[in-house]
Structure 1
């Protein structure tokens, strides 16, 4: 398993206040609320066919690039 990676994000004052409220109501650390939201977003994107098409296109482009150097 890869080690955790620290990241920094900037939120508007309104977003920060709303996030703090959600964390307080859910009795969860803000970091856990953020991680859960990111996980949900990634799962949603992975299930989206247009995302899958874009991902396949990127992979094919990278493979062509690698093949052009040989």
Structure 2
């Protein structure tokens, strides 16, 4: 069975779209494959970035506090 996918739309400036198409052409790969590889590399970089991890924890903690506060409020 093929992996599930989600279609997304990305708007790029013309020069960036042309550069992307050139890279894909030179590498003889579909543009979508080049984009997926770039996203995977970006996410992996963030995973290893201590500052990003700190900011992520802060964001999650803030959301948890908000959720706890909302759950503690009586129904309006």
Q: Same fold, TM exceeding 0.5?
A: yes
Once the two structures are superposed, residues 5-45 of structure 1 have per-residue CA deviations (whole angstroms, 9 ceiling, x without a partner) of 11111111111111111001101000000000000000001
* TM-score with structure 1 setting the length: 0.90
Task: Show the counterpart of 1:18.
Answer: 19
* TM-score with structure 2 setting the length: 0.83
Task: Show the counterpart of 1:64.
Answer: 65
Is 1:28 aligned to residue 16 of structure 2? no
Greater per-residue helix proportion: 1
Gaps of 5+ in 1: none
Gaps of 5+ in 2: none
Hey, which bits of structure 1, 4+ residues long, moved more than 6 A?
none
Tell me the distance in 1 between the aligned counterparts of 2:5 and 2:40: 14
Specify the structure having the higher radius of gyration (Cα).
Answer: 2
Provide the aligned length of Structure 1 versus Structure 2.
69
